Structure 1
Amino acid sequence: MGAHVAGHARDIKTTAFLFLLSLATTFLATAASPQSDALLKFKAGLGDNDALGTWDPAVDPCNNDRSNWAGVLCSAGAVWGLQLEHMQLSGVVDVDALAAINNIRTLSLMDNRLDGPLPEVKKLGKLKTLFLSNNYFSGEIPAGAFDGMGSLKTLHLANNDFTGRIPASIAVLPKLTMVRLDGNQFEGRIPDFQQKFLRAVNVANNELEGPIPKSLSHMNPNSFSGNKGLCGAPLQPCAAPPPSLPPPPPPFSFLPAAEAKLTNLTLEIIIGLLILVIILIATILCLILLHHRRRRRTHHSDNPLTRNPSSVTATKVTLTTPPAVRFVQREASHLSTASAKRAEQQANNNNSNRLLFLRDDVERFDLQDLLRASAEVLGSGTFGASYKAGVVGQAMVVKRYRHMNNVGREEFHEHMRRVGRLKHPNLLPVEAYYYRKEEKLLVSKFVEHGSLASHLHGKHSSGQGLDWPTRVKIIRGIAKGLAYLYEELPLTLPHGHLKSSNVLLSDAFEPMLTDYALRPVVNADHAHKLMIAYKSPEYAQHGKTSNRTDVWSLGIVVLEILTGKYPENYLTQGYDGKADLGTWVNDMVKEKKTGEVFDRDMAGTNKDSKSQMIHLLQLALSCCEEDLERRVGVKEAVERIEQYVDGGV
Structure 2
Amino acid sequence: MAATSLVLTCFFSIFLLTHRVNSESLQEKQALLTFLQQIPHENRLQWNESDSACNWVGVECSSDRTSVHSLRLPGTGLVGQIPSGSLGKLSQLRVLSLRSNRLSGQIPPDFSNLTHLRSLYLQNNEFSGEFPASVTQLTGLVRLDISSNNLTGPIPFSVNNLTQLTGLFLGNNRFSGNLPSITVDLTDFNVSVNNLNGSIPTSLSKFPAASFAGNVNLCGGPLKPCKSFFVSPSPSPSSPDAPLSGKKSKLSTAAIIAIAVAGAVVGLLVLALLLFLCLRKRRRGKEGGTKAAETTATTRSVPSVPPAGGASSSKEVTGTSSGMGGETERNKLVFTEGGVFSFDLEDLLRASAEVLGKGSVGTSYKAVLEEGTTVVVKRLKDVAASKKEFESQMEVVGKIKHPNVFPLRAYYYSKDEKLLVFDFMPNGSLSALLHGSRGSGRTPLDWDNRMRIAITAARGLAHLHVSAKLVHGNIKASNILLHPNQDTCVSDYGLNQLFSNSSPPNRLAGYHAPEVLETRKVTFKSDVYSFGVLLLELLTGKSPNQASLGEEGIDLPRWVLSVVREEWTAEVFDVELMRYHNIEEEMVQLLQIAMACVSTVPDQRPVMQEVLRMIEDVNRSETTDEGLRQSSDDPSKGSEGQTPPGESRTPPRSVTP
Q: TM-score, normalised by structure 1?
A: 0.43
Based on CA coordinates, which of the two structures has the bigger radius of gyration? 1
Q: TM-score, normalised by structure 2?
A: 0.43
Q: With a CA cutoff of 8 Å and minimum separation of 6, indicate the structure with the bigger relative contact order.
A: 2
